Amino acid sequence: MNYFDNPDYVVAVVGAGRGIGKAAALHLARHGVRVACFDREGKAAEATAAEISRSGRDTIAHGLEVAEESTIPPAIEAAARTFGRIDALVNCAGVTGRTNIPGHEVELEDFDQVYRVNLRGAFLLSKAVLPHMLARKYGRILHVASIAGKEGNAGMTAYSATKAGLIGMVKSLAKDYVEHGITINALAPAVIRTPMVEALPQATIDYMTAKIPMRRCGELEEAAQMISWIVSPACSFTSGFTFDLSGGRATY
């Protein structure tokens, strides 16, 4: 089903070089959306953009490291100049940090790095796109959080804490902009079959999958379909909400 009927609609996807971000960028492009592909690895973003270009859709690619504030405004401004607008932001940037570590053994340096990407980076991205949305009194922002932000995962203190913070940030920001035609939501996946998940220790994956009633990982296309609806005009009366994508793990 296609929720986009405006050929000028522009979505900026952060983390478009791989995983959920790439799947979302390709899915959006297939449905007629112009996509700005951002990734910490510029070549990965360019590869996704090249794939989109072959389908005949307008796209750009730009390197963007959410942990480095100076890289964010130039990338967002490049998209705004190229397309003349930014209708939506999909933020898929995220790191787990070291896992299977009890909280008292977590190194502060590791915790800080996870925070800089998962929470501080999301805040900086929001700050960068919101002026463009306010100018047009329309916008959709989606930050990919995690079920760990709701329930906490053992041995993943930094990841769980920063994803919980992201959910709280979304709730607050949504109230700030809800009267300006801008919705701000989060997505809380359980285990989705991505390169990041596949890089986790098997013990961590087993722990997370065992909690999913469907007894399987979510698929990238399932995530992409849900993301597309959330950042489309069709999702017009929901803001400050965290959508679950958990195979029945979360029922609240």
Among positive and negative, which fits the CA dihedral 148, 152, 155, 161? positive
pLDDT of 44-86, one tens digit each? 999 999 999 998 999 999 999 999 999 999 999 999 999 999 9
- Grouping H, G, I as helix, E, B as strand and the rest as coil, residue 2 is coil
Q: Would you say residue 249 lies in a domain? A: no
- CATH code at position 123: 3.40.50.720
Residue 251 predicted with pLDDT over 70 = no
Residue 215: what pLDDT?
82
Q: Would you say residue 26 lies in a domain? A: yes
Q: Would you say residue 109 lies in a domain? A: yes
- Grouping H, G, I as helix, E, B as strand and the rest as coil, residue 187 is strand
The Cα-based distances of 243 to 83, 156, 251 in angstroms read 29, 21, 11
Q: Would you say residue 99 lies in a domain? A: yes
**DSSP characters for 11-79?**
EEEETTTSHHHHHHHHHHHHTT-EEEEEESSHHHHHHHHHHHHHTT--EEEEE--TTSGGGHHHHHHHH
Q: Would you say residue 60 lies in a domain? A: yes
pLDDT of 168-217, one tens digit each? 999 999 999 999 999 999 999 988 988 767 787 888 778 778 889 998 88
* Number of domain units in the chain: 1
- Averaged pLDDT for residues 78-98: 97
Q: Would you say residue 127 lies in a domain? A: yes
- Averaged pLDDT for residues 139-149: 97
Residue 159 appears among annotated catalytic residues: yes
Choose among 74, 75, 79: nearest CA to 33: 79
Name which of 15-19, 152-156, 157-161, 221-225 the model is least confident about: 152-156
Could you say which of 159, 177, 207, 252 is catalytic? 159
pLDDT of 112-140, one tens digit each? 999 999 999 999 999 999 999 999 999 99
Q: Would you say residue 4 lies in a domain? A: no
Domain span at residue 33 reads 10-242
Rounded (5°) CA angle 201-143-44: 65
Q: Would you say residue 5 lies in a domain? A: no
Given a contact cutoff of 8 angstroms between Cβ atoms, the answer to whether 250 and 151 are in contact is yes
Helical segments of the chain, H only: 19-30, 42-54, 72-83, 108-115, 121-136, 148-151, 157-177, 195-198, 202-209, 220-230
